[in-house]
Amino acid sequence: MEDIAKKNGKDNGVTTKIFAMNTVMNMTIYGESIESAKKILAEAEQEIYQLEALFSATMKNSDISYINENAGKSPVKVSEQTITMIEKAKEIQKLTNGAFDITVSPVVKAWGFTTRNFRVPKKEEITKLISYINSDWITINKEEQTVFLEKPGMAIDLGGIAKGYTADYLSNWFEQKGVASGILSLGGNVIGIGLHNGNKWGVALQDPLNENASVGILKIGNQSVVTSGGYQRNFEKDGKIYHHIINPKTGYPAEEGLISVTIISSDGTKADGLSTALFVMGIEQAVDFWRQSNDFEAIFITEDRRVLATEGIADDFQFTGESQGYQYSTIFKK
Ligand code: ADP
Ligand code: MG
């Protein structure tokens, strides 16, 4: 093993980097021979492409495109995984009182985030499009394995949870392949598999205002760390920045004083949905929401440069953002 360690220059980890689901993905696994690690990683890449082919909102033959094309017309038969994802998305919509809603898609499209032909839609257009938003109008028939969007004009977009779901799916997949240690970073979604030489994984928390800096290090085990922020995908028009996290109630990019929300949880799919949802809620509502939950922790970064960690993660977070002008504090349950 030591030989392998030397050859690799990084304690026997083997890494692969790919571009999928519109983002850069890195996967590193440890403890395998180089040969078998490479083989496992190549198979994992194929797993990702297969999931992307189901969940993509832009690929013509994806399950999601198929569902959207048949909105208001007919139920369509899709894969079991697509059903699982949509069910999970509906659950998160209920839980977050609509702050997360995959039927926000027509609005996301209107802003150009799907095609990158960015534009600022007129008020009337937004008012019309938000009338198509409501996950209650997605009908799932589990026996027939079909999904139906009840209203013509409706559409769904799994962009807010697809990477989290993929991370969960892959971490199980790797475990089944006998991989006991690894770390996956799927564009803002990090998931730990086991431990790293008996220690927790260190995950850098990005400074949302500086691509090349972090504001601290999080320690995680078999968990997901998911960050959503307006800084990730946006465009500027007439001096104003418009980003890709939309408040489903207004149809406009959520501006509630947050610049990033990071969720730490053993449920990566939920963590992904919640990172989007809590960003939409804003700090006060998000903290109330956390106080009523017991399956995740969070770190919020506000526009006025405060870094706020919930008490359950505070011991595993080492803040380093002072020199960048951030101020740190802990949020307590009571
Ligand atoms: P990223 O995809 O950059 O990691 P998120 O996980 O926050 O960020 O997901 C944002 C994506 O989810 C958007 O690109 C859009 O497709 C979709 N989306 C935007 N707003 C919402 C929302 N309120 N609820 C559900 N999905 C959303
Ligand atoms: Mg998300």
Distance 113 CA to ligand 1 centre (A): 10
| Average pLDDT value for residue range 51-70 | 96
Task: Please tell me if the CB atom of residue 230 comes closer than 6 angstroms to any atom of ligand 1.
Answer: no
Which range of 1-5, 7-11, 218-222, 237-241 scores highest in mean pLDDT? It is: 218-222
Tell me the C-alpha distance between 20 and 291, whole Å.
35
Mean pLDDT of 302-310: 97
The whole-chain average pLDDT of the chain stands at 95
Q: Is 22 in the pocket of ligand 1 (CB under 6 A)?
A: no
* Farthest CA pair distance, the chain: 65
| 43, amino acid identity | E
Q: Quick one: residue 62, left, alpha or beta (phi over 0 = left, psi -120 to 50 = alpha)? A: beta
In ligand 1, the atom with minimum distance to the C-alpha of 89 is 25
Report the range of poorest mean pLDDT among 29-38, 40-49, 219-228, 264-273. Answer: 29-38
pLDDT value at residue 138: 98
**Contacts for 23 with CB less than 8 Å, ≥ 6 apart:** 163, 186, 187, 188
- Res 31: pLDDT: 87
CB contact at 8 A, 253 and 246: yes
Using the predicted structure, report yes or no on whether residue 129 has a pLDDT greater than 50: yes
- Record the pTM: 0.95
Among the listed ranges 10-14, 67-71, 140-144, 319-323, which one has the minimum average pLDDT value? 10-14
Half-sphere CA count of 60, side-chain side, radius 13 A: 0
